[in-house]
């Protein structure tokens, strides 16, 4: 099989070959990791996009927004046997949010609404975002405020059978000023919150830019990782287009026994089929 880098490097056909049998592209049906693909990689209505997710054999689709007819999306997803892997849950990439106690009531209300949307969609993972760092409060104060907010959100997650996954973002390239950036910082927060329903969303792209040490951090902290986001660096495109060895990374995740979703939160380099096949090639580590 060609390497994931080789498959990502050129152009191929868009869509199935002429005369290809329905379902013949279902590459991910028996994959060693549960890979979720972004809906925006496909064309057509949301329902048509979900049908294409299933055609490739993906068990889930990554769709962080909650706009549109949620009931229609749920019906189509149930029909073809896929699920949403994660949606936005609480907080934002903006000033305020969890780092400011004056905003905690609003964050709690937002989370309650998003939990209802998640249940409507049959989704069990929701993203948590701390908001941007403040210049009028110390680092330790802001860490404490984030913990306070999450301790209010945790019982809601526990009562509804969902997990809030707290995402660290890079500030060097994409999200200047965001508060939560490092794995050790995230783990310190999760230690204080101490809930099985509050974990880390480990975004491999962001953490490569911020701190590297990807495989060691994943394996060391896998018990507190509830979701993965995948993109290569630089460029934030599919695996095989940058510097990350996704074959080794995916193998390391699999060896931990992780059973959640590994979601492609990235663009593609211009050809959806080639990008999908490049991702699949990264799962061949024998």
Are the CB atoms for 98 and 104 separated by under 8 Å?
yes
The pLDDT value given to residue 2 = 52
Instruction: Note the pLDDT of residue 7.
Output: 59
- pLDDT tens digits, residue range 202-232? 999 999 999 999 999 999 999 999 999 999 9
pLDDT of residue 164: 98
Q: What fold is seen in the domain 27-277?
A: TIM Barrel (3.20.20)
Exactly one of 62, 238, 265, 273 is catalytic; name it: 265
Average pLDDT, the chain: 92
pLDDT of residue 8: 57
Mean pLDDT of 27-48: 96
How sure is the predictor about 1, in pLDDT bands with cuts at 50, 70 and 90?
very low
21 assigned to active site = no
Encode the chain in three state secondary structure.
CCCHHHHHCCCCCCCCCCCCCCCCCCHHHHCCCEEEEEHHHCCCCHHHHHHHHHHCCCCEEECCCCCCCHHHHHHHHHHHCCEECCEEEECCCCCCHHHCHHHHHHHHHHHHHHHHHHHHHCCCEEEECCCECCCCCCHHHHHHHHHHHHHHHHHHHHHHCCEEEEECCCCCCCCCCECCCCHHHHHHHHHHHCCCCEEEEEEHHHHHHHCCCHHHHHHHHHHHEEEEEECCCCCCCCCCCCCCCHHHHHHHHHHCCCCCEEEECCCCCCCHHHHHHHHHHCCCCC
Write down the pLDDT at residue 3.
64
Q: According to the model, what pLDDT value does residue 25 have?
A: 79
Contacts of 94 (CB under 8 A, 6+ apart): 131, 132
Q: Is the pLDDT of residue 24 over 70?
A: no
Q: Select which of 62, 167, 238, 273 is catalytic.
A: 167
Domain ranges of the chain: 27-277
Active-site residue flag, 265:
yes
What is the average pLDDT across 69-98? 96
What pLDDT score does 73 carry?
A: 95
Mean pLDDT confidence for 21-41 = 85
pTM: 0.93
């Amino acid at each position: 099989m060609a390497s994931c880098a080789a498959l990502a490097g050129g152009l191929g056909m868009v869509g199935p070959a002429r005369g290809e049998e329905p379902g013949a592209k279902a590459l991910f049906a028996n994959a060693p990791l549960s890979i979720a693909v972004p809906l925006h990689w496909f064309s057509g209505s949301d329902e048509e996009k979900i049908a294409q997710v299933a055609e490739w054999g993906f068990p889930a689709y990554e769709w962080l927004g909650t706009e549109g007819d949620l009931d229609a999306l749920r019906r189509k997803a149930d029909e073809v046997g896929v699920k949403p892997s994660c949606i936005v849950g609480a907080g934002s990439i903006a000033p305020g949010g969890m780092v400011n106690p004056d905003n905690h009531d609003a964050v709690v209300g937002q989370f309650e609404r998003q939990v209802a949307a998640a249940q409507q969609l049959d989704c069990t993972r929701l993203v948590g975002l701390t908001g941007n760092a403040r210049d009028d409060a110390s680092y330790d104060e802001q860490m404490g405020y984030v913990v306070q907010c999450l301790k209010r959100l945790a019982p809601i997650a526990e009562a509804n059978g969902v997990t809030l996954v707290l995402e660290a973002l890079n500030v060097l390239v994409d999200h200047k000023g965001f508060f939560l950036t490092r794995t050790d910082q995230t783990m310190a927060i999760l230690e204080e919150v101490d809930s099985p329903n509050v974990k880390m969303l480990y975004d491999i792209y962001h953490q490569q830019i911020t701190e590297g040490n990807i495989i060691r951090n994943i394996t060391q902290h896998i018990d507190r990782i509830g979701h993965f986001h995948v993109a290569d660096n630089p460029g934030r495109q599919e695996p095989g287009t940058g510097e990350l060895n996704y074959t080794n990374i995916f193998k390391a995740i699999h060896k931990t026994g992780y059973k959640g979703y590994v979601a492609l939160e990235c663009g593609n380099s211009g050809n959806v089929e080639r990008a999908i096949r490049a991702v699949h090639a990264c799962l061949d580590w024998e």
